[in-house]
Structure 1
Amino acid sequence: MNKLIIGLALSLTISTYAYAAGDAAAGKEKSVACGACHGADGNSEVGTFPKLAGQNEKYLIKQMLAIQSDERSVPEMAGQLDGKNEQDIEDIAAYYTSKKILGGKTAADQLELGQSIYRSGIASKQVAACTACHGAKGQGLPTAGYPALSGQHAAYTEKQLKSFRTVSRTNDPNSMMRDIAARLSDVEIKAVASYIQGLY
């Protein structure tokens, strides 16, 4: 638990990415192709494709750069960022950040467990509350580059948590998400992902 707390503190004070300076109007034009999977306004209709609307700009920039450089492997994104320079990426991020995410619903049978994990963590497993980095309403911490989660598709969130758990996704600062996901069962991951989908 001490390692996790130290990691959280370091991540709040250390950042590798400069603040974004994107142009949302330019980003609208540059993101036309992105709309095929993520929706024109960033609200994808397919559960495995993430909603980008309302996502923190700094986080979007980090992820696009990581995907472009193959630091983060996303087969569905192969070639999609080819030819995009950093300004293009900042503009696209600014556009999606300016849009409003459309919230979803939490499955009734997942509410109690999902809410408990999100708000309080699991002390017996040394799992910190999600609110510590992602906020009570899932708005994230923009200055630290921590993503907004509210309204995100449960299927996508579940897939990402399992990817962190199997270490097939590794671009989280100080291994924080890998450490947390490694302690979560499939049942717990499903519950918290469902809760996040209805959180807004």
Structure 2
Amino acid sequence: MKRLIAGVVLGVGLTAMAHGAGDPNAGEQKAAVCTSCHGQGGAKPIMGNYPKLSGVGETYLYSQLRNIKSGERAIPEMTGLLDAMSDQDLQNLAAYFSSQEMVVNQADPELVDQGAALYRGGNMASGVPACAGCHNPQGKGNEPAGYPRLGGQNAQYVINQLKAYRAGERTSGNNASIMMDVASKLTDTEIEAVANYVSGLH
């Protein structure tokens, strides 16, 4: 597992260096089409099952936009929206949204303790690693490795994605195999608890 993670980190890092940083100002000009679902600056989506894009991380967002455009990651609501955009447009979009501030939600107080324990310490009995190991103790993610920021993300979105990983429905991206392995060991209760915890993590 350590070798797999090291390979992923190296691969993502080389991809990021090869493409260089995007231009947030140019990305803002292309972001108008995104606001109807994700809100201004990607900070306030119209529904909880849509992700916040603000501050998530340029490397991660760029890779996801590429996967969505190519069809590797199928999101019906985004069908065709990226077709006319160049690779540089996608990089600029990622840079723009990553430069915006993440607005933190209010976590469910009844789930905070269980979610915090899982996020920070994992579950040794079932082999679930601590989320903080990749996503940062404060939920800030790991930009060079392409691990997204989770602190402030919509709980319902996180729940949906963890269940998709667990069911083998989300398989695209450099980190998918890691997340599929982790999610396969999570119960519905654990998924709900950790998703609620990260929604208020800052």
Distance 1:162 1:42 in 2: 23
- 1:135-175 CA distances to partner (integer Å, 9 max, x unpaired)? 00111110011111110000000000000000100024361
Distance 2:116 2:74 in 1: 30
Amino acid at match of 1:113: Q
SS state at 1:14 partner = helix
Amino acid at match of 2:15: Y
Q: Provide TM-score, normalisation by structure 1.
A: 0.94
Show structure 1 runs of 5+ residues with no match: none
SS state at 2:111 partner = helix
Verify the 8 A CA contact 1:134 1:147 in the aligned structure 2: yes
Per the alignment, residue 136 of structure 2 pairs with 135
Distance 2:181 2:52 in 1: 25
- 1:89-128 CA distances to partner (integer Å, 9 max, x unpaired)? 0111111011001000110111111001100000111111
Distance 1:14 1:69 in 2: 19
Distance 1:111 1:128 in 2: 18
Show structure 2 runs of 5+ residues with no match: none
SS state at 1:41 partner = helix
Per the alignment, residue 196 of structure 2 pairs with 194
Verify the 8 A CA contact 1:122 1:128 in the aligned structure 2: yes
Q: Provide TM-score, normalisation by structure 2.
A: 0.93
Amino acid at match of 1:28: E
Verify the 8 A CA contact 1:17 1:62 in the aligned structure 2: no
Distance 1:194 1:146 in 2: 19
Per the alignment, residue 163 of structure 2 pairs with 162
Per the alignment, residue 11 of structure 2 pairs with 14
Q: Is the aligned partner of 1:171 residue 2:172?
A: yes
Percent identity between matched residues is 40
Per the alignment, residue 25 of structure 2 pairs with 25
Amino acid at match of 2:8: S
- How well do the aligned residues superpose, as a CA RMSD in angstroms? 1.2
Per the alignment, residue 34 of structure 1 pairs with 34
Matches within 5 A, 1:73-88: 73-88=74-89
Per the alignment, residue 122 of structure 2 pairs with 121
SS state at 1:125 partner = coil
